[in-house]
Structure 1
Amino acid sequence: MTSFAQKARAAEAQMRTLFPATPLQRNDHLSERHGADIWLKREDLSPVRSYKIRGAFNAMRKVLERSPDQSRFVCASAGNHAQGVAFVCRHFGVNGVIFMPVTTPQQKIDKTRVFGGDAIEIRLVGDYFDDTLKSAQEYCAMVGAHFLSPFDDPDVIEGQASVAVEILAEMPNAPDMVILPVGGGGLSSGVRLYMAEDAPETDLWFVEPLGGASLAAALAAGHPVSLPKVNTFVDGAAVARIGVSTFAVLKTVSPDHVLAAPEDRICTTILEMLNIEGIVLEPAGALSVDVLPELSEQIRGKTVVCVTSGGNFDFERLPEVKERAQRFSGVKKYFILRLPQRPGALKDFLSMLGPDDDIARFEYLKKSARNFGSVLIGIETKAAGNFAELFGKLDAAGFAYRDITNDETLAEFLI
């Protein structure tokens, strides 16, 4: 009987007809910072700038081997899976129908169309992904097409395992640790299965976005569960429910080896990798690098591989990423100030600002009383400690204010 590792190696060998192995690069900056030998498996440098091409290729390859007459494939995706499916449809010369939400950014639609060319049709259906998925599955059943799951499919899992095949082939010795991002679990389950056979001594760690920790929830419950709410900022890994097939592989993972990365902190990692290393990572692609400080004791002196799973970053999001990074780092705050309606009150406030404090937002909200007005103020500074000095001055002068930086409700409506 063919083992999983043998199947993964066969899948990886077949992929060479489509694209070369992605680079495994030592990162001097991260290695020096953390006192470890840190390597990046650059899935952001695949032809579609993510690892998703692997699972799509292997699943489609095996379907065509079993059913050579199958000529139509369907998927539902607003991102990396759509692009991978489009690329592979063109490679195999089959037709693909890709369902995407109506709200999908035009940039992602255009990239998917470029990868697929005449081989694909894009259908924009539904405001939310669940509606899109339902329409895709209904269409698939109606026309007798094959539905390509983004993760919950044994052939997809096998294809994603080719990442691990390449890691071990590109290193003289198996790494001490591999850090993996987790969304639906296709990549993490595939790598875990392969490493269990070919490098069982390698320690695996798993990282989810804090607002989409579906693996942690499933481990706690003992079975896949649907999260009541998902933060979609890390769109490549923000999955409400981990797959059944993937969880069957991951159910014995120790909860201590599953980390949650706060979305705002991920933004600091994206900016660091962009500004210092010139590496463009999408939020999901930055997950494995983001948790290195948390693992500082475990990784010191060891060889560590971080899988940077994707680089499909829309630079129109850069202002948002910078904003969130500043707020997480404590160098930007928003607060509502109750400003007395008297001559000189604003001047008194301005005199309290330090030399490194800049006003990024100033907006009168309303006059809450005859003698006072509410003002929304955003302040940027060079060091987080400067706010303690500013707030101390405000307290001493009797100004009433409220810090709303981390108030999700107010921030959503006012900022």
Structure 2
Amino acid sequence: MAERPVARRERRAVGQGAGGDDDARDRRRVGAGHRTRPRHRILHRRAAGARRARGPARADRDGRELRPPAALPPAARDGAGDGRDAPRQGRAVRRRKGRRGGQRAAGARHAAARRHADPARCLPPSARRCGVLPVHLWPGLPGQAPDPRPPRPDRKARRRRDDQPAPGVGLQNHTAAVIEPLVALMARLRDPEIGCPWDVAQNFATIAPYTIEEAYEVAQAIADGDMAELKDELGDLLLQVVFHARIAEEAGLFALPDVVAAIVDKMVRRHPHVFAEATPDADAISQELTWESLKAQEKRRDGALDGVALALPALLRADKLQRRAARTGFDWPDAGGARAKIVEELAEFDAAATPEHRTEEAGDLLFAAVNYLRKHEIDPEAALRAANAKFERRFRAMEASAGDAFAGLDLDAKEALWASAKADERT
């Protein structure tokens, strides 16, 4: 009971802001664990009263008040005053440590929210209760600035070998980077000052024959089954696409990204059974008819034969013209009618009297032959290409068998060599 008056005198001294004499200071140091609690309560009340007098204060992102040290009472400032403020210095250290701990906790909440894609998880408990979503927590939302921090690397990707692609890494990640060197190369070749004079002089019309040639070389590599050659020929064909796109970009017409976007949009539109709710057809032939129907809806034409390119090879264009006409019902009911037409055109060819007439009938004969092959679902272009390759193989075998004497042999000897080369292929 003797200690109570000492505590009251100490509270009166603190409330008056006086330093007190040496004896009072010594008494405060004795039993500080019990006698400093009233002092801290008084300091807290004085600081709270000063805050109420100043009005609302600025708060940090976690809802804590931010006040400069000068705004606090002298006895509540960190490191201010004489020896009687020593207990307050320890409280300030604890407050700073607590603030750093709160910042670490906020950073952990932000990381958890990024991992789980839940904006509310990154909020402090007070903000979660209020339903507030600070803008700075999600810089990637629409209308906000992008996050300046680099994305965290994939730990599993760091452990992979360099020659093993990451799962899911495909065209969407690497196509642009892969084709960029080719685009830059073409821009350099077409540069009027430092480029190649031949490349600079080209236009759409002059390089079109090379485009067709490269397409046929791709087809040849496929027919030969040579995958290394196919890789090279596909590169040559891709160069033609980039070449045309570069010429168009220089003319202000379109660029390579426009070409890619156009074909992507077209493929999505014409595959509603894949990218929409349409039901796929029963087989590939029916699906092809659906494709042609969608194509006709997109491109309004005056007639059934509109849109068949004039630059197509003659046999291929004849086949496409006949297929377009067959969709309207203008077709033989079976292959017998097409075969009879070949016999008819052959007779007319034999009866032709002038070279011009004979040339015309020859064209009709070839057109009838294409029609007959179409009825049997045979590609005339591919069939003729295969026939050319077969003739080339057999003729080279004849030359190899006869050697230098081949040119001097009579027709019967050459026929015998042909029959031998033919038999060798079949065995």
The TM-score with structure 2 as length reference comes to 0.16
Q: Which has the higher helix share?
A: 2
Larger Rg: 2
More strand by share: 1
Using structure 1 for the length normalisation, give the TM-score. 0.16
Bigger RCO (CA 8 Å, 6+ sep): 1
